[in-house]
Chain A
Amino acid sequence: MSLMSLGLVRGVIGQVIGTIVGFLLLMLGRLIGGYEEVWFAEGAWSLGAIFGVIGFLYGVGALDAWTKWMGGVFPPIHHGPIEGEPTWTRYFYPDINHKVIGVQYGVLSLITLMIGGGMAVIFRSELARSGLQFLDPGLYNTVISMHGWATLAAVLIGIGAMANYLVPLMIGADDMAFPRLNAFAFWINVPAVILLMGSLFAQWDSGWTMYPPLSLKGDVGYQLAAYAIYAIGLSSILGSLNIIVTMLTMRPPGMSLFRMPIFCWAMLATSILQLTATQVIGQAMLMISLERSMGMGFFNPNSGLSDLGLPTGIPGGDPILFEHLFWFYSHPAVYIFVLPGLGIISELLPVFARKPLFGYKWIAMSSVAIALVGFLVWGHHMFTSGFAPYLRTTFMLSTMLVGVPTGVKFFSWLGTLWGGKLSFETPMLFVLGAISVFLLGGLSGPILATVATDMPLHDSYFVVGHFHATLFGGFIFPFFAAIYFWYPKITGRMYNEGLGKLHFAIMTPAFWLMSIGQMTVGVMGMRRRIADYDPALGFGGVETGHQVITVAAFLIAFSILVMVYNLFNSADVGELAGNNPWRSRSPEFQIPSPIPEHSFPTPITVVGEPYDYGLAGSTYIQMAPALAGDD
């Protein structure tokens, strides 16, 4: 078996070739156009990025079905590993099985998370003490920008993991509605992450928010980052489309919408957001790219692109336009980030409390309510931006409103725990950790929602504390809970419970310390995105706070390494799990572990409620009896 037989390797080669094709196209165009200098970095890397992604997709084989179809042959869907190759190679190729794709998303998410987390460990080391120790300010700004987008990419990709692995299983479906599209949507993320890594080396210094006019100057890393984001967004859109169609058209008999597992409702709400809002950030990134490479006058009132060696464009651009475009997606984006995780919390609590999910319909509707109201609040990121003053009022009101459906979830979770028979295996620990951390993050929201109190806190470390707590509580903790919970279904073995508890015991207090540290130094007056700070700031000095945050960050990173070790090691030596280690009523736990190629050998019928734990004699699903002669 040669390296070249791996789809991933062919993909990377395809990306390199595609990038060069992009360069050549740009240079050819400039040659024909009579430009003095045939090489132009901004344009070259833009076209290089685009053709690089296409080249990767072609190389890995994600375009095979369509190219064959264009040639007149409609290829059948291939189930199972590649013939003549070891089974594991299917994970490096556009396999169409949603379970394989789910694992691919999951592994890519963890890798990207460690890249983003690695960035944090780097700059936290710099910030532990006042004074510039080893990071020059330009590199510092790039590292924080990379931390932002790499971790957010990890979140979006991790959502793809949970959605694609779980949704078909939870509705008893054999696969997603569009399996080839599913594989394609996964594989776009790989060249995107490669582009993002490239942007680290090329450097870009604006923070993840890419505000112009700053993002219209400086190094070409902006182009690479812009197209990486565009590609990740495209994956998000295609994946969400698939989820919605699958959920609406492939449910089994008896599974009305209000009899779906609650995670499906969470993914429905999330997918609505992904499908409709992501386009806007793609637009914003394109506009940044074109303003940089062609001098189009969207955002820079100066349009004095003399920094980049271009003739001055049309003056009159508005930086605030970018902020609106950016946040119109990026606020719904944060609900994309947390709704699935909140769905995981709702999904797991009944199993470990052994009683029904409290107020299922209200929880389902609250996800949709958060998604819809979430479209109306983006201006709260812009209270100090200088936009029309009356907008501060409307956005303040809508922002506070979105706390109401979120509260419904919290109270419903309490109702689920109350009167239960609670056990505390690792997935449950992470769910409880998620609730406490998301509570902290959520409660630090209203103080940012009222404009007067937002003024001293905007762009301070308090906001950093707020969004890390909401992201960890809404995604990271639930994602880890989900990994531990469904690990036996994926691998057929149990993870090591002792190591799982160790992971939790290190990560949760460390995260609490980190959040409080961040909020404290922020209230004291520490700004965000600064390479160094005045140690005299704040009562008793802000430096202590920073040391606490840095130590906590290192502990969190270490605990994640413990988890990664556990996941790898247990796949080899873990205890065999059996079908249903958690005594769950959900469909995926009624079939063997690891789940076979065709998950459900016979169709299922829904005959009861999903969460009727404690109701004697109740069943959720029934598998049809196997017909004679079926495998």
Chain B
Amino acid sequence: MSFVTSHFNYVVVIVLMMGGLFITFSTGNLIKRMIGLAIFQTSVGVLYISLGKVAGGTAAITIEATSEAGRALSSKLDPGYVAQYGVDGVVYSNPLPHVLILTAIVVGVSTLAVGLAIAVRVREAYGTVEAGEIAAADQAAIAQADRRKSGGRGR
């Protein structure tokens, strides 16, 4: 199999990952940055799930090989392939990446909420969620404090 077909999923993972990173880097808006991070996170999920896919496999919910569904699945595959890679006569995809990504998605939305909560508090403190304006407000506050300090000494 050529590189393009056998590694297509990984190239898409990299494109999505870099896209998420680009959104995070290029925009100053804190909410948009969180969206970029969320896309970055899904790309990691795509990588894990792609690695866990087994050609000709089915979801990791065990079925009797002698049942109709089991026979239907096995009949589509080469018997030698089933004998080598199957479990009790049926080929399954790898369940371990599924477990890892399932919990990662729910943890991801929780951490997204934390990030957004910080953005909301930043907005309340600065009146903006643009990183550039926040930095400018900080600079202005520092300059003002310096002026007050030097003015106090002068008197």
Is this pair of chains taken from one and the same complex? Answer: no
Binding site for B on A (CB under 8 A): none
Binding site for A on B (CB under 8 A): none
